[in-house]
Amino acid sequence: MAPLNPYTYIQCPCSDSASLGRPSDATSPTSADGDEEDNAFDPRAPRANFSLYPLEYLLYCEDCHQIRCPRCITEEIATYFCPSCLFEVPSSNLKSEGNRCTRSCFQCPICIGPLSVTSIEAPPSDPSLLVPDRAGTPHTTYSLICSYCSWSSTEIGIQFDKPNSIHAQLAKIRNGGASRLTAKERKERRKELSHRGGEAALAASSEAAAGQDMDLETQFANLKLFYNSQLADPNAGDNGFSSLGDLGFSSPSSLSRIMNLYTGGKLHDPRAKSKLGAMREAITADEGLLETDLDESSLITQLHQSDFLDTASSTQICSQPPNLGETYIYGAARFNSSLRPVPYLLRTKRSKRCPVCRHIISKPEAKVQTTRFRIRLVAGSYIPSITIRRLNLPGPNGPAAPAILGDLLEPLKPVHFVLTFKNPIFESLKVTLGAPAKTPGRFPSKVTVLCPQFDIDANTDVWDEALKENDRESSGRSRRRAGTESQFQVEVGKIWERGRNWVSIIVEVVPASLKLEPGRDVLKQDEDVLEIPMFVRIEWEAEGGGDDAASGTGRDKDQKEKKELAYWCVLGLGRIKQG
Amino acid sequence: MSGLGSGSGAGTTPLPHRSVANIRSPHTSGNTNPSTPSSSSRPVPTSSFGSPSSLRADEDILILELGSRKLQIGFAGDACPRGTVWFTPSQLRRVGDFRDWSSESKTNVDWKTKKVTGEKWWTRDHELWEYDVREVDLGLIGDKVERALREALTKYMLIDSRPRRMACVLPSSLPLPMLSAVLDSLFTRFQPPTISLFSSPVALTVGAGVRSALIVDLGWRETVVTSVYEFREVNTKRSVRGGRLLVEQTHKLLARHLPENQKKKEGTTSEDTQDYDLSFEECNDIATRMVWCKPHLSSPKAHKSKEGLPTLHEQDESDSTEAESPTEASKTARIPLQSCRSPTTIELPWAALAEPSENAFFDSQYSESSFDDHELPLPLLVYRSLLQLPLDVRALCMSRIIFTGGCASVLGLRGRIFGEVSKLIEERGWDGVQGKGADQMRANPKLQGKRGSRPAVSGPTGVTSPPEAVGGQEQDGVWHDAANTAHEACPVEEQLARGQDKRPRVQGKMRAIESVGAWSGASLIAHLKAAPISTIEREVWLQYGAAGASKPSEVDQKSARQSFGPGGLIRGSAANNSWTLGVWGVN
């Protein structure tokens, strides 16, 4: 069993209001405070996993005084770039050329390693002759090679003429080396044909080409063309799709059609006739109709002859980009030979705004190469962090010995944990904790927060602390010494330890025993982890403007305004011993 | 929208008055005007304020297709979705839980120590929803959809979080509570101004370029056979034989071939619960990689296609199990397994890999009467749904069969179903009555006279004639019959005929066609700006939810009544602020 580091997750208040279906007044924490008792947060509920975040993932809006999680943030895109070549892609390209790098950045379809373009030296026909111009002959071809698993694009029969713009070249080659027409070329060819030979030639050529050349992109393009021509047809009038939407007979077109149908003699009204001309369906391959080739025996034979490892795994298939150029739609990427190099997905740099006040709360540098942020209001610098440490009080191996990570908790034996709250802001915090006496779930452990209410001093200058060192000595440090030396000094309602901007308190937990009815039930994944939900409410006094809490300490006290923030968090304490 | 309309109305009504005043006395009008221009100019800012939203609405529509196991998303007008997100257990984890990347999860330590009982637990985390709404957490579905969509938007779509119009492609059998949960999640989390709904069978039909089709959706949870006639779903039949069953059968097969020491020995296996020795991921992988389907036994006869020869050739090789050639019998497939106690490689005969699909989709060793309604073998399911259709609809649908869904990629499965359905039609014709009694009745010459009204139906069932002839007779019979019922020239028929192309429609013979897929079909529909089945506006949804939708039947009556008055047509449509959930809101 994996050792478990104690952890803290915080539930963003936004999900609370959403799940309870309450109006958006939950932004004021008082309302959430009220029903704290009624519906204690259950960290085991499957939905909880969607709203819990580690502190590092959370941002904070200074103006709304609210935590902002990835779910309650509006994003704007600063830059699009390829993670491989770090080339910035203009946003206009994105629409026309898709979400992948169109230069020469590819990932290996077998592993995910980057592919590099390597020239294939044609086997020298005459090695003795070292003619210099031989190297410059157009016969030099290039292939993509994975430096990790040494996969080569020659394995799927693809070679390139040029070492650059691989993406464009790849679009024209099918696996095995056969060339295909891109959509643009196809359109041009169609135009050319219609100029030259008229309808008949066009139909004939497309019929001939349909069999081997039809792929998803072509069929889609044909269909689009066909439907457009049908809709543009003046006879079609009311478009044939109307019946898609007229389930309620509420559209005027369908009503008029029905009226026309049932008002007898007016059927030969020319206007009605033109209206009723429904769109016909596609008949030829040129119009997008494609008969299925149900004979898959050749593929079965291929599967029969191939080894298990010759077939592509489902993860490999999933990472394949949608292959528009495949000749058949089904069973397409089944063998390794039908996989294609994966162009890198582009990435974005995003700036984030608070959805309520529209203030920017995170803004990266626009340049791709830099990882810095211009603005970044992380929640960690606004709300207290909680660290968990196990307290071995009556330890046989010496007092206050740090508990070994991953130590299993004995069922039904009280354990003590030290929770250290560290105040990041320059105001003193008033913290109120609430935890249900029993953890929710099938195995309720008893939880007692010995000191549910305390103040944390402001995160003042370190030098202030140094000056006050002597005063503190008497209260904080001595307390700890007393706690460790005498056997049981954990007192209810008392702070365990206190520092410049932090406070430690004790939580006593009696882990439940994980006894299961034999044969009936199974322990679900992570059900042996002791997690306690805890409602944290912090109050502090911010400056009247509320804009800048950071510079607030030295200012006028009269303008101060009381602020509060409340949220649920989950403390993962450890695994309970089974048996 | 309503504000805009009233604003323009307020702007236009004073206009004639003002113009009259202008004609009469321009000077006085100059004095009275200041009030009116200000009132008329006030709507202008609102309209210009409103225009960005309409501009935004003209932007690309996001099309998302929700399936049982994956979400596909892309822009309308694209040929295929830009990204696909599968629902996996790792998606259910907390943010910042990186156990998937730990070495232990790679070696499946977790899976090995865990004992999984019951099919639900085995597959549950890989699915978005279970259609059984009784024990489903609707909020969880909303969360799953939200997370998957968020991933798709950031990873594949690369778009910011400005509100965009959305269109959902959904199976038309989706229960209303789930639809409601999905819409709720989309509306509250992504703020789209409108969400349109497309039903996937209709989208598939559009994607194939036809107006009527028989959609055989070999999906994950179940196989759904939907008949679409003139873009309308007219009949749906379903069977639980889908991808999930296939993966379970694959597991059974692998577990059977697993050495005994590799199995989890818990010793507490009871009959009603099934223990799983291998992980879902692995079985799913093997099912997609190696499982194939035997061709139909008499498919060359049923196939009147030109590919008859290669089919026949293939059959000699792999089909006849009893007369297998020695090389065939000795051919084994080696499959490496990771998720059993220790990594191992099992060898199993090549033919055995066809068993899962055989058991999952056909179960041909059992008699037809032993199946319940919800577990019909697929050929029978297709046959029965064709049988239920009216004659002319059937004639159109049977020559427009579209196979879709994940299991359509099982090699040979489509051909097998097609072949077996052809055979069923050949054997039985279009007569729903089967069995000894029916046969006797048909054979009884005395009763023939009484049943003379249906000679065309009983004719082909009795005679075993070559399929081509049967098809021809059948077709003749069908159309002869239809002509009898139509007394004179039917006006509706005429109307329909006028819409047709001069070229004859293919009908009455079995034919399978290829569709670009439900997503791409919906992309086409949205691109062509055709009316979706239902369009829901955000405000209305947030105000009323699914309860605000009027049922299609209600709308029928109301608008029909309105339409009878003069000019009622226009008024009825203009004042139409009711919206429906289309097929989803019916029940």
Q: Where are the domains of chain A?
A: 7-58+381-545+560-575, 193-337
Report d(CA B18, CA A81) in Å as an integer.
57
What tokens appear for B135 in the block? 């024990």
Give the model's pLDDT for residue A258.
57
Contact B374, B241 (CB under 8 A): no
Contact indicator for B558, B244 with CB cutoff of 8 Å: no
Chain B neighbors of A514, CB-CB under 8 A: none
**Nearest in space to B482 (alpha carbons), one of B405, B358, B381, B392:** B392
What would the two tokens of residue B332 be? Answer: 């084994």
Q: Decide: A569 and A8 in contact? Cβ < 8 Å.
A: yes
Q: Identify the top-confidence range among A523-527, B58-62, B91-95.
A: B91-95
Please enumerate in sequence order all residues whose Cβ is within 8 A of that of A351, keeping only pairs 6 or more positions apart, or say none: A75, A76, A78, A360, A362, A363, A364, A375
The pLDDT of residue B586 is above 70: no
Residue A358: closest CA among A75, A547, A563, A564: A75
Contact A76 B160 (CB under 8 A): yes
Classify B534 as helix, strand or coil: strand
Q: A223: number of CA atoms within 13 Å, CB side?
A: 34
Instruction: Give A475's DSSP letter.
Output: I
For residue A319 the two structure tokens come to: 């990472």
Interface contact B578-A248, CB threshold 8 A = yes
Q: Are B246 and B237 in contact (CB under 8 A)?
A: no
What DSSP letter does each residue of A64-82 carry, written as one string?
TTEEE-GGG-EEEEEEEE-
Return d(Cα A82, Cα A104) in angstroms, integer. Answer: 11
The rounded distance, in Å, linking the Cα atoms of B361 and B376 is 9
B307–A346 CB contact, under 8 Å: no
Phi, psi (deg, nearest 5) at residue A379: -65, -25
Provide the 3-class DSSP secondary structure of residue B388: helix
Q: What is the pLDDT of residue A491?
A: 76
pLDDT over 80 (residue B539):
yes
- Give me the mean pLDDT over the B392-407 stretch: 90
What is the dihedral sign for C-alpha B513, B518, B523, B529?
positive
CB pairs under 8 A between A and B: 308
Spatial separation of the C-alpha atoms in residues B471 and B511, rounded to whole Å: 12
Alpha carbon distance B68, A217 (integer Å): 25
Look at residue A285 in the predicted model and tell me its pLDDT: 78
- What is the C-alpha to C-alpha distance for residues A251 and A254, in angstroms, rounded to an integer? 6
Distance between CA atoms of residues A379 and A567, nearest Å: 13
* pLDDT score of B240 more than 60: yes
Q: Which residues pair with B196 in a beta bridge?
A: B167, B535
Identify all chain A residues contacting B155, using CB atoms and an 8 Å cutoff. 345
- Measured CA angle at A287 (ends A283, A288), to 5 deg: 95
Q: A349 — phi, psi (to 5°)?
A: -105, 130
Q: How far apart are CA A272 and CA A551, in angstroms?
A: 76
Please indicate whether, in this complex, the C-beta atoms of A231 and B528 are within 8 angstroms of each other.
yes
Measured between alpha carbons, how far apart are the two ends of chain B, in Å?
Answer: 30
For residue B103, give Cα distances in angstroms to A367, A407, B88. Answer: 35, 20, 19
Q: Which helix (H) or strand (E) holds B8?
A: helix B2-12
**Collapsed DSSP state (helix, strand, coil) of residue A542:** strand
pLDDT band at B201 (very low <50, low <70, confident <90, very high): very high
Q: What is the pLDDT of residue A433?
A: 92
Q: Give me the numbers of helices (H) and strands (E) for chain B, helices first please.
A: 29, 13
Q: Is residue B402 over pLDDT 50?
A: yes
Closest CA to B292 of A272, A188, A474, A308: A308
| Residue from the list A80, A313, A525 with its beta carbon closest to the beta carbon of B289 | A313
CB contact under 8 Å between A75 and B161, yes or no, is yes
CA dihedral A485, A487, A492, A493 (to 10 degrees): 0
Residues making up chain A, counted from first to last? 579
B195 torsion bin: left (phi>0), alpha (psi -120 to 50), beta (else): beta
- What would the two tokens of residue A278 be? 């429904």
Do residues A340 and A175 lie in contact, with contact meaning Cβ atoms separated by under 8 Å? yes
Picking from B255, B197, B203, the residue whose alpha carbon sits closest to that of residue B226 is B203
Among B114, B126, B129, smallest CA distance to B179 is for B129
**CB count, 10 Å around CB of A200?**
8
Instruction: Enumerate long-range contacts of B543-550, CB under 8 Å, 24 or more apart.
Output: B545/B180, B545/B184, B546/B176, B546/B179, B546/B180, B546/B183, B546/B581, B546/B585, B548/B579, B549/B579, B549/B580, B549/B581, B549/B585, B550/A248, B550/B578, B550/B579, B550/B580, B550/B585
Least CA distance to A309: which residue of chain B?
A: B335
Contact B512 A246 (CB under 8 A): no
CA distance linking residue A148 with residue A116, whole number of Å: 11
* Tens place of pLDDT per residue across chain A (579 aa): 456 778 899 998 887 654 443 333 333 333 333 444 446 788 888 888 888 999 999 999 988 888 999 888 899 999 999 999 999 998 888 888 888 898 889 999 998 899 999 988 765 555 444 444 444 455 688 999 999 999 999 888 888 888 888 888 888 888 777 777 776 777 777 777 666 654 554 454 444 454 456 778 888 888 888 888 887 765 544 444 544 544 444 455 555 655 555 554 444 434 433 344 457 788 887 788 888 877 788 888 888 888 888 888 888 888 888 766 666 555 556 788 888 899 999 999 999 999 889 899 999 998 888 889 999 999 999 999 999 988 876 544 444 445 554 578 888 888 889 999 999 988 888 999 998 888 888 888 899 998 899 999 888 777 766 666 555 554 444 445 444 444 456 777 788 888 888 999 999 999 888 877 666 566 777 778 888 999 999 999 877 554 444 444 444 445 678 888 999 999 988 888 876
Q: A127 vs A136, A460, B238, CA distance in Å?
A: 16, 78, 68
Find, among A454, A499, A494, the residue nearest to A472 by Cα: A499
CA A149/CA B459 separation, integer angstroms: 65
Among A293, A338, A150, which Cα is nearest to B289's?
Answer: A338
**For position B456, what pLDDT does the model report?**
41
pLDDT tens string B174-186: 888 899 899 999 9
The alpha-carbon gap from B565 to the nearest alpha carbon of chain A, in Å, equals 12
Q: What is the pLDDT of residue B515?
A: 87
Phi-psi region of A491 (alpha: psi -120 to 50; beta: other; left: phi over 0): beta
List the one residue out of B219, B328, B338 whose CA is nearest residue A308: B338
Q: Are strands A342-343 and A290-291 parallel, antiparallel or unpaired?
A: unpaired
Q: What is the pLDDT of residue B1?
A: 39
Q: Which residues, in sequence order, are CB contacts of A376 under 8 Å at separation 6+?
A: A59, A361, A362, A363
What pLDDT score was predicted for residue B581?
A: 74
Q: Which of B158, B313, B512 sits opposite A291 (nearest CB)?
A: B512
Return the sign of the alpha-carbon dihedral for residues B555, B560, B562, B567.
positive
Q: Which residues contact B285 (CB under 8 A, 6 or more apart)?
A: A313, A314
CB contact under 8 A, B232 and A267: no
Gap from B195 CA to chain A (nearest CA, Å) = 14
pLDDT higher for A424 or B110?
Answer: A424
Which residues in chain A have Cβ-Cβ distances shorter than 8 Å to B503? 283
CB contact under 8 A, B528 and A241: yes
Mutate to test the interface with A, among B231, B505, B535 (most CBs of A within 10 A): B231
Provide the CA A567 distance to its chain's centre, in angstroms: 23
Phi, psi angle pair for A110, to nearest 5°: -90, -65
User: Are residues A250 and B572, on separate chains, in Cβ contact within 8 Å?
Assistant: yes
Chain B positions in Cβ-Cβ contact with residue A332 (cut-off 8 Å): 409
d(CA B420, CA B295): 10
CB contact under 8 A, A47 and B143: yes
- Contact by Cβ (8 Å): B356, B250: yes
Complete edge-to-edge strand list for the sheet that includes strand A529-542 = A52-53, A7-11, A561-575, A529-542, A429-434, A453-456
- What pLDDT score does A19 carry? 44
CB within 8 Å of B438: residues ≥ 6 apart:
B431
